[in-house]
Amino acid sequence: MTSKTTELKLDIERIGTVSAMLTRPDHARACYVLAHGAGADMRHSFMGKVAAGLAERGIATFRFNFPYMEEKKGRPDQPAVAHAAIRAAVGEVARLCPGVKLIAGGKSFGGRMTSQAQAKAPLPDVKGLAFLGFPLHAAKKPSSERAEHLSDIAIPMLFLQGTRDALADLSYFKPVVEKLGPKAMLHQVEGGDHSFAVLKKSGRSSDEALTEVLDTLAAWIDVLA
């Protein structure tokens, strides 16, 4: 399946303009608003692999930089700024890809900011949230406080989590998902770390683990209303 990646600018009301990228395959049946993690921008190799892999599966992706990353500042934006960027991205995708099923979420920090934004006020026309390594807690500080807002979200959620993820102790994560009920799904990637990389002794490659992630995500998107 052929796809095209277009470089764009995203205007965030009262905040400024950031870089963005739309990767769109022919006849895309959905678009995933893919927010980056705290330490790497939208052009990171992981983000590129996700965009390319979803395009092969008929799903477009819209990537964008948060303002702090665009300005090359070390500290992530305050939540209100991140939420505004996500809302701007969702609005832009609705304009660029009318009639296409809309999903939001992203990698780590980007996914958590998306869930916070959705919990505060539903993102227009977004059918579900998908998280590529939800950062439940800081490394070596297991807790579930960062998940408290998830109960305020009414749309379906997919959590893709590596079993070696240092930011998501599954003994804390599983009860969170169970409490959320049928609207939430947890898919565990055996041996995967926070970016789904696996050890050589696992018997498979990190690319194979990422394929599992993308296959699961694409199948979940297809069953959304």
Taking the C-alpha atoms of residue 34 and residue 63, their distance in angstroms, rounded to an integer, is: 5
pLDDT band at 6 (very low <50, low <70, confident <90, very high): very high
Distance of alpha carbon 135 from alpha carbon 108, whole angstroms: 5
Q: Is 117 exposed, middle or buried (0-12, 13-18, 19+ CB in 10 A)?
A: buried
The predicted structure's pLDDT at residue 60: 98
- C-alpha 150/C-alpha 177 separation (Å) is 9
Average confidence score pLDDT of the chain:
96
Cα(107)–Cα(217) distance, integer angstroms = 13
E strand or H helix that includes residue 14: none
On the question of pLDDT at 74 being above 90, the answer is no
pLDDT tens track for 11-21: 999 999 999 99
Q: Does pTM surpass 0.75?
A: yes
Q: Which residue type does 121 have?
A: A
Specify whether the CB–CB gap between 161 and 173 falls below 8 A: yes
* pLDDT tens-digit map of 189-216: 999 999 999 999 999 999 999 999 999 9
145-200 pLDDT per residue, tens: 999 999 999 999 999 999 999 999 999 999 999 999 999 999 999 999 999 999 99
pLDDT at 1: 77
pLDDT at 87: 98
59-64 and 16-25 beta bridge pairing: antiparallel
pLDDT tens digits along 34-64: 999 999 999 999 999 999 999 999 999 999 9
Q: Do 35 and 89 touch, CB atoms closer than 8 A?
A: yes
Show the domains of the chain with their CATH numbers. Answer: 3-223 (3.40.50.1820)
Alpha-carbon distances, residue 32 vs 86, 113, 129, 166 (angstroms): 12, 15, 9, 25
Buried-state track 101-111, b at ≥16 Cβ within 10 A, e below 16: bbbbbbbbbbb
Identify whether the C-beta of residue 185 lies closer than 8 Å to the C-beta of residue 220.
yes
The closest alpha carbon to 1, from 45, 39, 52, 40, belongs to 52
